[in-house]
Structure 1
Amino acid sequence: MKLSGSTALVTGVGVGNLGHHFVQQLLERGAKRVYATARRPENIDAPGAEVLRLDLTDRGSVAAAAAHAHDVGLLINNASVSFPGLALSDGDPDLIRTLFDTNVHGTLHMVRAFAPVLATNGGGALLNVLSSAAWATADGFHVYAASKAALWSMTDSLRAELSAQGTHVSSLVFGMAGTPVVKALADAVAGPGALDDMMTDPAIVVSRALDGLESGRTEILADRLAVDAKAALSGGGPSVYATLTGAQPGPA
């Protein structure tokens, strides 16, 4: 997909996170318009973008966004939540539902609302931001990992379903991007700086994602952890997640 001259919408834009970098780099690559969205739009710092309030768990909010942003040709589903320490076996069922409502059902709400928009505008492209946790889970993040595994499978199905309307469906998979939130979590769990070498600059993750979109890739592995996790999943060796001692990495 050609990004220059495109119109894109990015979900989950926050301070220094992947969403922020997506908006910034899309504009730098010549996007004609970028909608930057979040539940709390007052926290968005995105000069040059059009800011919209969007709650993925509220179908009315999603529908309103699709009606307003009717010129979108690229949808980037970046928004997600995680509750570190939440367990599948005995965790709060309401929190588990909230996590799946955002990460899985919320993303599906966005796809269902914007698929007709993309079709009207020539097909365009859809990028779902996943996580290597879908392939190699870690203690304290099993619910998050399960949601990302569901989203991985859903993305494959959507690729087949939306191909008929000419929409390119891709996924971004990575282990740890050094965003402020992830860095703080990693430092709290493993000690200051202990996992820094395993993190990738979020600007690099996003740059690789956009390069992948422009080259038409269907699955973009953006860091060493993602490559390693996929290899381990197919029997290509032990995952680096399993070799960590004293701590496990947080969510993407």
Structure 2
Amino acid sequence: MDIKGSIVLVTGGNRGLGKAFVQKLLEAGAKKVYVGSRTPIEATDPRLQPIKLDVTNEQDIAAVAEAAQDVNILINNAGIASSTSVLTEPSIQIARDIMETNYFGMLAMVRAFAPILKKNGGGTIVNVLSVLSWFTTPTTTSYAATKAAALLLTDGIRVELRSQGTQVVAVHVGFMDTDMATHVDPSRKVSPVDVATSVIEGVINGQEEVLADETSRYAKAALASDKKSFYQPIQADWDKAQQQI
């Protein structure tokens, strides 16, 4: 899908990777970018449309969907994390909060915008996942569980939305130089601008998966499985069922 002339909504667009997405989308020729964040940013660029959006708030999502009927690219970037063991976190509520944002928030956005994308010709959904969609460590289990759930969500909606022409892109990346990874050795982190650039190239090239850094490429190879072939019969069954409706 061409970025030039597109109208994009970026969740969590006020900082980190979200801010990098906004920057690179404008450079690629996006006509308008809705910048979703809990507290709307200030913007002087007429191409930017700051909008209040907490992906865990049903009222916010409904209001954004009503206001942004022209969107043809949705980038689900908003996310939160924890770096403590699930067995030693002060409360299980921490795990629930992460799941609420990283999985249910993404699901709610897809449900709200899939019909809008269909109306606007199909468009694209980009789901920012993680190398931790594939594996975990004791201190990342809550986060990894949400990203694994989000990966299966991404695979499922790709099958479901293919017939309406919606491109669904899964983005995998390790540590980025953002607030979420301030505790990580800088040598292990990749620039969010580089990640955003890779993702936009993937959208333009029609990719279903973007491995945005060396960490994700290494993990993919180490945990190799032929996912595309695995999903072929699922796709066939889905398409057959849709023809019978």
Q: What's the TM-score once normalised by structure 1's chain length?
A: 0.84
8 A Cα contact 1:36 1:46, kept in partner: no
8 A Cα contact 2:38 2:53, kept in partner: yes
Which of 124-133 and 139-148 deviates more? 139-148
Other-structure match for 1:185: 183
Other-structure match for 2:34: 35
8 A Cα contact 2:43 2:50, kept in partner: no
Other-structure match for 2:235: none
Q: 1:209 is aligned with what amino acid? A: V
Q: Quote how far apart the aligned CAs of 1:138 are.
A: 2.6
Other-structure match for 1:133: 132
Tell me how far apart the structure 2 counterparts of residues 57 and 163 of structure 1 sit (CA, whole Å). 26
Tell me how far apart the structure 1 counterparts of residues 33 and 3 of structure 2 sit (CA, whole Å). 11
Q: 2:217 aligns with which of 227, 234, 238?
A: 227
Superposed CA RMSD: 1.6
SS at match of 2:210: strand
Other-structure match for 2:3: 3
Q: Quote how far apart the aligned CAs of 1:107 are.
A: 0.3
SS at match of 1:71: coil
Tell me how far apart the structure 2 counterparts of residues 14 and 185 of structure 1 sit (CA, whole Å). 21
Other-structure match for 1:13: 13
Are the structure 2 counterparts of residues 174 and 106 from structure 1 closer, same or farther at C-alpha, using a change threshold of 3 Å? Answer: same
8 A Cα contact 2:35 2:48, kept in partner: yes
8 A Cα contact 2:9 2:34, kept in partner: yes
Residue deviations 1:54-112 (CA, integer Å, cap 9, x gap): 0111111101101000000000000011122141x454221211111110011000000
Tell me how far apart the structure 2 counterparts of residues 234 and 224 of structure 1 sit (CA, whole Å). 15
Percent identical: 40
Residue deviations 1:166-195 (CA, integer Å, cap 9, x gap): 10101110101112442x221xxxxxxxx2
Superposed, which structure 2 residues align to 1:1-252 within 5 Å? 1-15=1-15, 17-42=16-41, 47=45, 48-87=47-86, 89=87, 91=89, 92-182=91-181, 184-186=182-184, 195-234=185-224
SS at match of 1:52: strand
Are the structure 2 counterparts of residues 90 and 185 from structure 1 closer, same or farther at C-alpha, using a change threshold of 3 Å? Answer: closer
8 A Cα contact 1:171 1:219, kept in partner: yes
Q: Which runs of 5+ in 2 are unaligned?
A: 226-245
Residue deviations 1:32-66 (CA, integer Å, cap 9, x gap): 10000111224x66844110000111111101101
Q: How many residues align?
A: 223
Tell me how far apart the structure 2 counterparts of residues 129 and 219 of structure 1 sit (CA, whole Å). 10
Are the structure 2 counterparts of residues 74 and 46 from structure 1 closer, same or farther at C-alpha, using a change threshold of 3 Å? Answer: farther
Other-structure match for 1:248: none
8 A Cα contact 1:20 1:46, kept in partner: no
Other-structure match for 1:249: none
Q: Quote how far apart the aligned CAs of 1:118 are.
A: 0.3
Tell me how far apart the structure 1 counterparts of residues 147 and 141 of structure 2 sit (CA, whole Å). 10
8 A Cα contact 2:14 2:35, kept in partner: no
Tell me how far apart the structure 1 counterparts of residues 141 and 71 of structure 2 sit (CA, whole Å). 34
Residue deviations 1:90-142 (CA, integer Å, cap 9, x gap): 54221211111110011000000000100010000000000001113233111
Tell me how far apart the structure 1 counterparts of residues 135 and 22 of structure 2 sit (CA, whole Å). 29
8 A Cα contact 2:73 2:125, kept in partner: yes
8 A Cα contact 2:117 2:124, kept in partner: yes
